Amino acid sequence: MKKGFTLIELIIVIALFSVLMLSVSWVFVAGLRTWNSGVNRAEIRQDGTLALEKMVREISQADSFTIAHADRVKFDADLDDDGGNEDITFATDDNRLIRTVSGTSTVLAYNVQSFGLLYRDLNNAVMPFPITGNNRDNIRVIIMSLTMSNADETIDLSSGAYARNQ
C-alpha cells in the first residue's frame, strides 16, 4: 500500500492555505493604507507648519500694511536688516501658497485648499472688510488659517502674528 495524499486532502489544504493567505494579505494592505495616510498627513502638516512659521516671523516684522484682504496680505518690512524695507506679499494661486518679496515669488506650500486671514485691532476686535487707508494702521494681530489636502488627507492649521507696526 502506497502512502500519500488523496485529491480531496490536497484540495482542502489548498483551500485552507488560500484563506490564510487572503487574511494575511488583507492585514498587510490595511497596514500599507494606514502607513500612506500617516505619511500624507505628516507631509502636509510639515509643509503647512513651516509656511505658517515663516509668515508669523515676517508679519511680526511689518512696519506697515498696504493690502489687508481676507485672502491676501501685503506689507513692508526690513527682512535683511539693510535699513530698507522689502515689499512682501502672501497669497494663494493654483493651490499654492505664494510668498513674493520685492517682485520675486517663491512657493511656501503646495496642496493648499484655502487660505484665510482675519485682522484684529488694538482692542482685539475683528476688523471688518474692506480694511483700507488709515484702518490698516490699526491692525494689531493677524490670524492666518490654512486648509491643506493631499490624497485623502485634509488638515486645518492656524496661527497668529502680532504686527510690529503698533
Span 46-98, pLDDT tens digits: 999 999 999 999 999 888 899 999 999 999 988 888 888 899 999 999 999 99
How far the first Cα of the chain sits from its last, in Å, is 101
So what's the pLDDT on residue 165? 57
Phi and psi at residue 34, to the nearest 5°? -65, -40
Which of 131, 109, 108, 134 is closest to 118 using CA atoms? 131
Higher pLDDT, 83 or 118: 118
With beta carbons less than 8 A apart as the criterion, state whether 129 and 137 touch.
Answer: no
pTM of the model: 0.78
Is residue 108's pLDDT more than 80?
A: yes
So what's the pLDDT on residue 84? 86
Higher pLDDT, 100 or 37: 100
Please give the mean pLDDT across all residues of the chain.
90
With beta carbons less than 8 A apart as the criterion, state whether 109 and 48 touch.
Answer: yes
Is residue 1's pLDDT more than 70?
A: no
Task: Please list, in sequence order, all residues whose beta carbon lies within 8 angstroms of the beta carbon of residue 143, skipping any fewer than 6 positions away.
Answer: 117, 118, 119, 120, 158, 159, 160
So what's the pLDDT on residue 134? 84
Own/partner long-range contacts of 79-85 (Cβ < 8 Å, ≥24 apart):
none
So what's the pLDDT on residue 137? 86
Q: How big is the chain, counted in residues? A: 166
So what's the pLDDT on residue 56? 94
Reduced to 3 states, what is the DSSP secondary structure of residue 8? Answer: helix
Host H or E run for residue 1:
none
